[in-house]
Amino acid sequence: MKKSTLLFWTAGLLAASASVQARQTTMEFGTPYPFDPPRYVCYRAPQEVTIDGNIDTPEWADVPWTSDFVDIEGTRRPVTPRHRCRAKLMWDDRYLYIAAEMIEPNLWATLTERESVIFQDNDFEVFLDVAGSTHHYMEFEVNALGTEWDLMLTRPYRDGGAPLNAWNMNGMRSAVKLYGTLNDPSDTDEKWTFEMAIPIHTLLEVRYGKREIEAGEQWRLNFSRVQWLLDVVDGAYVKRPNLPEDNWVWAPSGKISIHEPEYWGFLQFSTVTAGKGETPFVWNRNEEVKWALRQLYFRQREFRSSTGRWASTPKELKASDIEIEGLAFRPTVYVAGDSYRIVAPGLDGTSWYIDQQGYVGEGR
């Protein structure tokens, strides 16, 4: 090849590469569902708790309810659930206690074997991310028969997470109480209630270091109620054919997916006994840094889908478009092969990162 031809070919390649780079840095990224998780202060239990499904008892009387559940799509589908659902929590040195009330005119359940896929019935579900990393979070489901399913997710399904069905909430106890008659379409029922106690030591299995809960500590939490439309055929309830289930949750994610832990609510522990005072929720502004990193994670997924590679600079991800009030958001992107890590300074001298599997944590 002549030298002049080689120079022409090289110049053309560089120009084409620059053109591709220009197109990549001017990508239009999608807008994520707004980050506005609900918040709940968890007070100390006033007395010993009996787990029998009855929550109309003195120990629960002064414990505040969560806000009523909403459709999982939130403001993208602003419909009010047909039946009210809400929950409440308290704790002591041994257990985290959870109660729920589900208004229900048609009590129905079919699954009796533990570890069944309980959401094939109407059910109530609990999700807990103790470390706040969006990885190694716990899931629990129960139906009106009291049939349980507990498992751990290594990470969300979108990131290749696997459900660990062999994992159990060791020492957990739960119970339901029915206000009506189960599987009987001849009458109208009132509701069912649920109660559970999860040992603190079981919940802290996924956390390094301390094995006690401190005042002001915050976890990520969500609840879900799966509800199917039913018909009566030959005197029995059957699912209405060709219709999806309803998903009613405490913290909506903007899509029909509960496995979006970054949108779950915040649970803050108080050492005040329920009914003996109030503790304000204290917002940790580093959560805004973590959310800014999460937005870059969303953009990385879009970038890779479009270009076949991870973006290697904040500019390619339009990081300057993401603002945190009162804090300069200056992320650094590190790419190594098929992996990346994005790091950004937080408040009070902290540093936070997110990686290609969506794990978010403190450090560099």
Give the integer Cα–Cα distance in Å for 196 and 49: 10
Over residues 156-201, the pLDDT tens digits come to 999 999 999 999 999 999 999 999 999 999 999 999 999 999 999 9
pLDDT band at 344 (very low <50, low <70, confident <90, very high): very high
Quick one: pLDDT at residue 364? 85
Q: Calculate the CA 54 to chain-centre distance.
A: 27
Mean pLDDT computed over 65-78: 97
Over residues 282-326, the pLDDT tens digits come to 999 999 999 999 999 999 999 999 999 999 999 999 999 999 999
pTM of the full structure = 0.92
Quick one: pLDDT at residue 234? 97
Over residues 262-273, the pLDDT tens digits come to 999 999 999 999
Quick one: pLDDT at residue 230? 98
Quick one: pLDDT at residue 5? 36
Of the two residues 211 and 331, the one the predictor is more confident about is 331
pLDDT band at 25 (very low <50, low <70, confident <90, very high): low
Pairing of strands 123-129, 137-142: antiparallel
The DSSP bridge partners found for residue 95 are 199
